[in-house]
Amino acid sequence: MLDDRGNTAVYLLYAYTRIRSIGRLANAGEANLQKAAAEMDIVLDHNKELKLATAILRFPEVIEKLIAELFPHTLCDFLYDLATTFTEFYDACYCIEKDRTTGEVIKVNMSRLLLCEATTMVMAQGFQILGLTPTQRM
């Protein structure tokens, strides 16, 4: 139950916290993210970007199924799939580029950062439905 690997609440909460740390590292505050979301399109050039966006867009369908069937594991399975899809995306697509010597952030891919934000928003909504309280840091 407390394992941070596999399909557990701890794994999902850890994934959420990890994604949130990307935004903090990029120094992208909520106002900057909202402005970017309003002014720019999210570019889905890489297949992992498209896969993550498609996973995010499944959320309303999952909620409809949850309401119709009243099986919370449907939402849990979706959140786990979303977290693993995000991990695939993050492993393949840089969101933040750092200088190798200083560790200073030199480039932020705002489109990908918006995908990160969308992922955390969906996860937070799922957690709220399940009665879980996510943390910003672990």
Q: Topology of domain 9-129, per CATH?
A: Isoleucyl-tRNA Synthetase; Domain 1 (1.10.730)
H helices within the chain, ranges in order?
9-25, 30-39, 47-57, 59-69, 73-92, 110-130
122 class by beta-carbon count within 10 Å (0-12 exposed, 13-18 middle, 19+ buried): buried
- Has residue 3 got a pLDDT over 70? no
Average pLDDT, the chain: 90
The residues with which 98 forms a beta bridge, in sequence order, are 105
Q: For residues 80 and 100, give the distance between their C-alpha atoms in angstroms, rounded to a whole number.
A: 32
pLDDT in tens, 76-134: 999 999 999 999 999 999 999 888 888 888 899 999 999 999 999 999 999 999 999 88
- Do residues 137 and 17 lie in contact, with contact meaning Cβ atoms separated by under 8 Å? yes
DSSP code string of 22-36? HHHHTT--HHHHHHH
> 10 Å Cβ neighbour count for 31?
8
27: left (phi over 0), alpha (psi -120 to 50) or beta: left
Q: Give the pTM.
A: 0.89
% residues pLDDT > 90 (the chain): 66
Q: Which residue has the higher pLDDT, 18 or 136?
A: 18
